[in-house]
Structure 1
Amino acid sequence: MNQQIRHNNVERFKGFGTLYDQNRPAAPLEVVDILTHYLGKKPRFVADVGCGTGLSTWIWLDHAERVIGVEPSEDMRSVGIAKWEAAGKPDQLRFAAGMSHDLGLPDDSVDILTCSQSFHWMEPESTLREFARVLRPGGIFAAYDCDWPPVLNWQLEAAYQQLVSTADELASRLSSAEQQAHKWNKEGHLQQIQQSGLFRYNREIVFHHQEPFTAERYANLALSQGGLQTALKLGATELNDMADDFRRQAELVFDGKSKEVLFSYRMRIGII
């Protein structure tokens, strides 16, 4: 993976950290329960890599002795740091700049290493070698992602898919080859873990989580998708009308109420 691609993947998340943090689902506590159960004890050190604004990092605060969120995007990381400062700078949690293939952590130091909605942005071979280096014997790597769109109303979900796919097409058309980010297929995560030969046990785990949403948050969830933000930054103003229509459709479905939205998660794990 060359430096230009790494740069483009980081740049993709520039400029919408607050929108992302306010509207994306918080990482569910099922993640903590499953991984702690596999580890067999409270983890001493958890590393959350590609942590974004820290939505997937904070869930470990009361469930591990030390936690670090590693994020290369300064925009995203700054949101997490601001929340950490507002919370009184808890000693057991910190955020740091870093890339997945070069974490800057000691050998055999991490009990649980997670990638929430982020592993598909990382070159798998160099990343998995680095993860295996920092994990202790018996340590666990877990890449987990939710399915898009979340489950609520089929017409609204179809509109969500159309908005995002249109944005992805426009982003691809408006950017040069040198500007484009690259992501790996999430369906290949488990195979990459298996083929690395670095893990003695691996499997996929599926679970679900519900979270309350309003129409505004559901609409903003779609707007927080990286492809849509990329297309808007490249000048795809025609998306504004589509986004307005989607927002109006969400308002009709929610009818002024808060509704429970279902997120389906797929977690691929490897144990050292």
Structure 2
Amino acid sequence: MSEQVRQNNVDRFSGFGDLYDQSRPKAPVDLINILKMYLGHSPEVVADVGCGTGLSSFAWLDHAKQIIGIEPNDDMRAVAMNHWRERNSPSQLQFVKGLSTELPLEPSSVDLVTCSQSFHWMDPQPTLQEFARVLRPGGIFAAYDCDWPPAASPELDQAYEKLVQVAEKRASELIETGKEAFKWPKNQHLQQIQKSGLFRFSREIVFHHWESCDADRFANLALSQGGLQTALKLGADEIASAAEQFRDQVRRVFGGEIRNILFGYRMRLGVKSN
């Protein structure tokens, strides 16, 4: 990955940290229980890489002695820091600036490295080399992602997918050459872990989590997608109009109610060789 592409990937998430934080799901307790089960104990040190606004970092406060949230985007990290201060600055949690290929961590110092909705933005093989460097023998790397959209209804699922696809297409048409972001396929995460040769065991685990949601949050989940935000930042007025039409449709379907929606997760993990 070139330095320019890396910076493009970081910049993609500027300017909508609060929307992202208020809309996206928190790390579910099943995730924590699965990783503790595979580790065989509660982790002492967790490094949450590409932590964004800290949704996946705060989840470990009652389960690890030290949590380091590592995020290269200043806007996203600022939201995480605000929440950290609001929680009276828990001493076992810190947020730092860093890249997945240059972690500010000592060798063999971490029990668990997580990437929540972020590994597909990282150059996989150099990143896995760095993760293996900081993991202790038997430590775990886990990349976990939601399936988009969350399950709500046939009508809303279809409308969500259509809006995001149209926005991604428009963003690709408007963006300046050389400013494009690049992501690796999520469905190849497990193969990348296996290809690295750094992990003695690997597998994919699928689980789900219900969350309550009102109409505005469901609409904002779509708006929190990077491609849609890119189109808006590039001045695609027709995407802004389509987003408002989508919001109106969601409000009609929800009818003022708070509903349960289903987030499906796919986690690919590797256990570092001894």
Scaled by the length of structure 2, the TM-score of the pair is 0.98
Q: Does 1:196 align with 2:196?
A: yes
Alignment root-mean-square deviation, CA? 0.6
Q: What is the percentage of aligned positions where both structures have the same residue?
A: 59
For the residue of structure 2 that corresponds to 1:200, the secondary structure is strand
The answer for the alignment partner of 2:264 in structure 1 is 264
The answer for the alignment partner of 1:151 in structure 2 is 151
The answer for the alignment partner of 2:61 in structure 1 is 61
CA deviations 1:200-220 (Å, max 9, x no partner) are 000000000000000010001
Map 1:67-216 to 2 at 5 A.
67-216=67-216
For the residue of structure 2 that corresponds to 1:207, the secondary structure is strand
Gaps of 5+ in 1: none
CA deviations 1:226-264 (Å, max 9, x no partner) are 000001001101112211111111111111110000011
Q: Does 1:17 align with 2:4?
A: no
C-alpha distance in structure 1 between counterparts of 2:265 and 2:157, whole Å: 17
CA deviations 1:121-146 (Å, max 9, x no partner) are 00001100000000000100000001
CA deviations 1:159-201 (Å, max 9, x no partner) are 1011000110011000123010000000000000001000000
CA deviations 1:59-102 (Å, max 9, x no partner) are 00010000010000000000000100111010000100000000
Amino acid across the alignment from 2:157: E
* 66-75 vs 169-178, greater mean Cα deviation: 169-178
The answer for the alignment partner of 1:238 in structure 2 is 238
CA displacement at 1:4 relative to structure 2: 0.1
For the residue of structure 2 that corresponds to 1:265, the secondary structure is strand
* 247-256 vs 125-134, greater mean Cα deviation: 247-256
For the residue of structure 2 that corresponds to 1:217, the secondary structure is helix
Q: How many residue pairs are counted as aligned between the two chains?
A: 272
C-alpha distance in structure 2 between counterparts of 1:225 and 1:234, whole Å: 15
Q: Does 1:247 align with 2:236?
A: no
CA deviations 1:20-70 (Å, max 9, x no partner) are 000111111111100011111111100000000000111000100000100
Amino acid across the alignment from 2:244: D
Scaled by the length of structure 1, the TM-score of the pair is 0.99
* 243-252 vs 142-151, greater mean Cα deviation: 243-252
Amino acid across the alignment from 2:226: G
